[in-house]
Amino acid sequence: MSKATSSSLFTPTAASSQLHHQLRSFLLVFLSIACLPITTSFLILSYVLRPYAYASILLRRYRLQHAPAFKPRRILVTGVGMSKGLFLARTFYLAGHTVIGADFDAAYSIPAAGRFSASIQKYVSLPRPSGEAGVAWYINALLRTVQQENIDLWVSCSGVASAVEDGQATEILSRRTNCKFIQFTAQDTGILHAKNSFIDKVKELGLPAPETHEVRSRDSVHKILHRSTSSTNGTPRTSSEVGSLVVDKTRKTRRTSRQFILKSVDMDDSAREAAADMTILPRHTPSETYNFVANMKINEQKPWVLQQYVKGREYCTHALVVKGKVKAFVACYSSDLVMHYEALQKDDPLSQAMEQFTITFAGLMGASNLDPDGFVSPTVDEKPGDFTGHLSFDFLVEQLASEKGVECSILPIECNPRAHTAVALFEGKEVEMTEAYLSALDTSTPDDLANGFHESLMHDEDTAHERSTIVRPPEQPKKVYWIGHDLVVLGILPLLTLAQAFIRSSLSYLSYIPMADAVFNRSPSPPLRTATRRTIYDLAAFAEHVLTWQDGTYTLWDPLPAWWLYQVYWPGLFLKAALEGKKWSRVNVGTTKMFGC
């Protein structure tokens, strides 16, 4: 569930009682049990039909593996419990290689869903990197896996909690093994991971960025807000044309005083939830601003970021960067918690601007590892110019009135130096994606032929063009959703809201208004007509997703991970939360993340 789409009667908040949260967790467990006959029947049907789909896959693998230049590789993918890791494991398998999967197990040692994928030859359970001892165990487990399984390439699909630790692991692997990796170093990961240091790096590289301040006290927040309202803003952010769709160096625009939003720096769920409403500061009155800031837990140990508010639509991107060069790229619409993915077309001006920003940023980051003489900096355990990993940005599109009309500029607001779930939009580009990843290996094979096969081999005139092309999703990419999420958010919750509105309307019609108020005063429902319209819209969207979109976990030739995810993994997490009395606000089905509150 991504957000509250019905009344608080069915969606408890941090202020709700522990019993209320436990009830919701138990209800979701019961929902999973109720769906068990349907999902199991669908699983059996999938296995009945599977040979027809799997035969073509085996034929495809045979063709690729017997290509003249094919070199079989052993690839370790960590994070296969998440949709992004599972997708990449399947991608490498479809391209003819051997895949070893690894991830953390969930509550009660419930294995991750990716463990049961047909694309994975062997699964390794990793210890969680909690505390110094936990980090050491985690890195040792990675090292042992790489050595025992003779891994050629490690593709990290880590979550937010282990991104920095994966960066630390690269330093050990580079010294003690010949394994290459798709993961930034600890130094680069740390810079990009933190909101404030990322913005500082963007400005240092001469790229556009919103005004951002790290604040360690409430008083510093008020001082910055006071400065923003007491002076007009006529100065540009950073002189750069990167990310501007209409370039006009002489533009003159009038802007009002700047507004800001507070963001948590650390990964504490309660802090992230406190700022999730994106409250714009300053508020309408000084007292409202003071009261809001007073509720924020800002101190030296838990700093926050005060970032310029940009009114515009949010976008997210995913890119594969190898040695400072972008090898794959996709951009899509974003939100606070993305559960529906739809790729922008490659010729979309916004997509092109975000791609150009990514290319420029990756190139500059690779070059920043060099000293003025062109040699690698002695403080960086990378080859000269090496900047390899997954690079994901969140952008806001700012529209400004200028002498030439409306100008759109993209502003990076956050960086995730790890794989993004949007990688699932590359379905249908498995061979090209594998070639892009394997270009990280030192090999005499040309970069775009690292997998030993490419359609352009049949057309000499197209070969040069193919080598210089960034891999992008197909022309008509499948849109991605998760049926477990949509069943609740677009199916059950709208129906419950409609029922609530109907009951209240009936009680009011019968003149039992006091009774209606007594029942619903803590969870006001929308008018019946409005609730009916919303329910029809949500159910229609749910039907469209089921019939025409692609589930982020399910595929016909590999159906077991999806069944395990919905019937074992998530029920186990909900049961654990209920028994422990844990309060949680929402879950991300694709990343298997439960947000506490």
497 in a structural domain: yes
- In 3D space, the residue among 522, 572, 564 whose CA is nearest the CA of residue 7 turns out to be 522
433 in a structural domain: no
Question: Among the three residues 424, 441, 463, which one is the final residue of a domain in this structure?
Answer: 424
Statement to judge: residues 175 and 242 lie in one domain: no
SS3 229: helix
Which structure tokens are listed for 469?
A: 């092309």
Residue 399: half-sphere exposure toward Cβ, Cα within 13 Å: 7
Calculate the alpha carbon distances from 404 to 235, 239, 247, 410, 586 in Å: 19, 19, 10, 18, 44
CA 263 to chain CA mean position, Å: 17
Statement to judge: residues 79 and 177 lie in one domain: yes
Statement to judge: residues 158 and 194 lie in one domain: no
Which structure tokens are listed for 416?
A: 């995730």
Statement to judge: residues 66 and 201 lie in one domain: no
132 in a structural domain: yes
Statement to judge: residues 114 and 243 lie in one domain: no
pLDDT digit string (tens) for the chain, length 597 residues:
544 444 455 577 777 888 989 999 999 999 999 999 999 999 999 999 999 989 999 999 999 999 998 999 999 999 999 999 999 999 999 999 999 999 998 766 788 999 999 999 999 999 999 888 889 999 999 999 999 999 999 999 988 878 899 999 999 999 999 999 999 999 999 999 988 899 999 999 999 999 889 899 989 989 898 887 655 444 344 444 565 554 343 344 444 568 899 988 765 555 555 555 678 898 888 898 898 988 888 888 888 999 888 888 899 999 999 999 999 999 999 987 889 999 999 889 999 999 999 999 999 998 865 544 444 443 444 444 489 999 999 999 887 766 666 677 899 999 999 999 999 999 999 999 999 999 999 654 444 445 554 443 334 443 333 336 799 999 989 999 999 999 999 999 999 989 988 887 777 655 555 554 554 444 556 788 899 999 999 999 999 999 999 999 999 999 999 999 999 999 999 999 999 999 998 999 999 999 887
pLDDT in tens, 470-511: 999 999 899 999 999 999 999 999 999 899 888 877 776 555
What is residue 16's DSSP assignment? S
Residue 318: half-sphere exposure toward Cβ, Cα within 13 Å: 23
Tell me the residue type at 516: A
463 in a structural domain: no
9 in a structural domain: no
Statement to judge: residues 524 and 551 lie in one domain: yes
Q: What angle do CA 175, 178, 183 make, to 5 degrees?
A: 75
Residues in contact with 486: Cβ distance below 8 Å, sequence separation at least 6, in sequence order: 339, 541, 542, 545, 546
Q: What angle do CA 132, 136, 142 make, to 5 degrees?
A: 145
Q: The domain that contains 90 carries what CATH number?
A: 3.40.50.20
Contact 411, 398 (CB under 8 A): yes
- In 3D space, the residue among 329, 333, 339, 483 whose CA is nearest the CA of residue 397 turns out to be 333
411 in a structural domain: yes
Residue 558: half-sphere exposure toward Cβ, Cα within 13 Å: 24
Question: Among the three residues 165, 185, 205, which one is the final residue of a domain in this structure?
Answer: 185
Statement to judge: residues 284 and 317 lie in one domain: yes
Statement to judge: residues 43 and 54 lie in one domain: no
pLDDT in tens, 201-247: 999 999 999 988 989 998 998 989 888 765 544 434 444 456 555 43
Q: Rounded distance, CA 392 to CA 84, Å? A: 13
Q: How many domains does the chain have?
A: 3
Q: Rounded distance, CA 471 to CA 320, Å? A: 9
- Per-residue pLDDT at 267: 59
Residue 188: half-sphere exposure toward Cβ, Cα within 13 Å: 32
- Per-residue pLDDT at 341: 96
Statement to judge: residues 148 and 265 lie in one domain: no
Contact 418, 390 (CB under 8 A): yes
439 in a structural domain: no
Residue 196 burial (CB count, 10 A): 18
Question: Among the three residues 185, 202, 232, which one is the final residue of a domain in this structure?
Answer: 185
Which structure tokens are listed for 529?
A: 């007509």
Q: Rounded distance, CA 334 to CA 396, Å? A: 10
Statement to judge: residues 202 and 177 lie in one domain: no
Statement to judge: residues 88 and 41 lie in one domain: no
> Can you give the residue range of the structural domain that contains 276?
186-424
Q: Rounded distance, CA 330 to CA 319, Å? A: 7
Q: The domain that contains 382 carries what CATH number?
A: 3.30.470
Statement to judge: residues 146 and 206 lie in one domain: no
447 in a structural domain: no
Contact 169, 458 (CB under 8 A): no
Torsion angle, alpha carbons of 179, 181, 184, 185, to 10? -10
Sheet holding 389-402, edge to edge: 325-333, 314-322, 389-402, 405-416
Q: Rounded distance, CA 261 to CA 247, Å? A: 28
